Amino acid sequence: MSKFRKKPVVIKATQWFRDGDHPAVFLMAPGPHFLGGKHVIQTLEGHHIVQPGDWIITGVKNEVYPCKPDIFAATYDPAD
């Protein structure tokens, strides 16, 4: 199996704790779907639940997605 190194890319990220921390996070209205009453973000793969402390990453093509704090800390370093 071949090994690859991730290219260094600077991303934008905001740690989310509550409503208003990031404009892409919203409270899914209660209803017949299983995400009702949860905070979610619309990603390229569909809705993903966001929990307090998750990082919201804006990718190189302005796509957004959540990332758990431990994965974020293992993957990213602050950039100037």
Q: Are 57 and 50 in contact (CB under 8 A)?
A: no
- Answering whether pTM is above 0.85, one says no
13 closest CA partner among 70, 74, 54, 71: 54
Q: What angle do CA 53, 59, 64 make, to 5 degrees?
A: 55
Q: Which two tokens stand for residue 64?
A: 């957004």
3-state secondary structure of 25: strand
- Per-residue pLDDT for the chain (80 aa), expressed as one digit of tens each? 999 888 888 899 999 999 999 999 999 888 776 777 899 999 999 999 999 999 999 988 899 999 999 999 999 999 87
Task: Please state the domain extents for the chain.
Answer: 12-75
Q: Which amino acid is at 3?
A: K
